[in-house]
Amino acid sequence: MMTLTNQGPQLRDYQMTIAEPVSLSGIGVHSGTPVSMTFLPSDANTGIVFHRIDPAGTSHAIRALVSEVGTTDLSTTLANRDGVTISTVEHVMAAIAGAGIDNLIIEIDGPEVPIVDGTSAAFLAAFDQAGFAPQTAKRRFIRVLKPSRIEAGESWAEFLPYDGTRYEVEIDFETPVIGRQTFSGDMSEAVFRDEISRARTFGFMRDVEKLWAAGLALASSLDNSLVIGDDNNVINPGGLRFRDEFVRHKTLDAVGDLALAGAPFIGCFRSHRGGHRLNAMALRALLADHSAFEIVEAAGHDRGAPLIAVNAPVFAPWAV
């Protein structure tokens, strides 16, 4: 058995939702359309569920699970069995995971989560405004038992056993302003808020016209993206928020993509030259191998109680 040594969002004993509804509006970075979201408290054991509201007022439920992931081109898109989609979910999912929220209903009136400033900060601020409500149900975790690795060309990602929740993310770009950068650290609410949540999504000016022609990045701007110009320098006024902001944002994306496991994981996630597609592939590979993980929860009611394995079949709907 493992004793809980970290009481951050990853290893808290009990589930949590928000205390009251809160709304947020913005624009979809790819679609360029205005969108509004309302976050609602939800019962224990319901997880994170999007409700896309169409113009007629009909609600379409989409579970925030890797089994519902559709396309992963430039962002992560969820789709239900009826083909209803919600795209660019990674930043809000990262905020949900970083804040330690387990159960939430998200009503959204458009096809894409608003980009706001290209980070998770606005979503965290909305959750802080709503407040947090602890629940009586125990929190469950995916504990990694053995290495699980996938490779795609020069890219790879893997889960390893680890006493805590850790990310080791490395990127490698030929562009000198980025180059090779690595983020390595245990993830907690404080680390996510202070070191990850404000890192902006990024792109290259040379790619903009191609994206526009493909109907993508229609609302991308210096207000919501870190842009590298033709001279290979950042053109945003004020420059970088962090010296290694690029890899911090890639870590933010990984936190959001892996939140689609349906439960926080206990282990170390490592990736090299990764992205949304690789993150989804790695998570699917882990959950497809039932010998690579187990589902655990706190054994008792005392803070810091050891974790014990519980019935894996309860977790089966989340696996692929």
Catalytic residues: 276
- The amino acid present at 314, given as its one-letter code, is V
Start-to-end C-alpha separation, the chain: 27
Provide the pairing of β-strand 202-204 with 226-228: parallel
Residue 318: closest CA among 259, 256, 262, 255: 262
Q: Return the structure tokens found at 237.
A: 């006024």
> What are the CA-CA distances from residue 226 to residues 56, 204, 222, 239, 286 (Å)?
37, 9, 6, 8, 32
**Helix, strand or coil, per DSSP, at residue 44:** coil
**244 annotated as a binding-site residue:** no
Residue with tokens 């030259």: 273
301 has binding-site annotation: no
3-class secondary-structure state, position 217: coil
User: Which one-letter amino acid corresponds to residue 252?
Assistant: L
Whose tokens are 């808020």? That residue is: 193
Distance (Å, whole) CA 76 – CA 69: 7
For residue 41, what are the contacts with CB-CB under 8 A and spacing of at least 6?
17, 18, 19, 20, 21, 103, 104, 105, 133
Place of tokens 């039932």: 290
Does the annotation flag 253 for ligand binding? yes
Binding residues for Zn(2+): 91, 249, 253
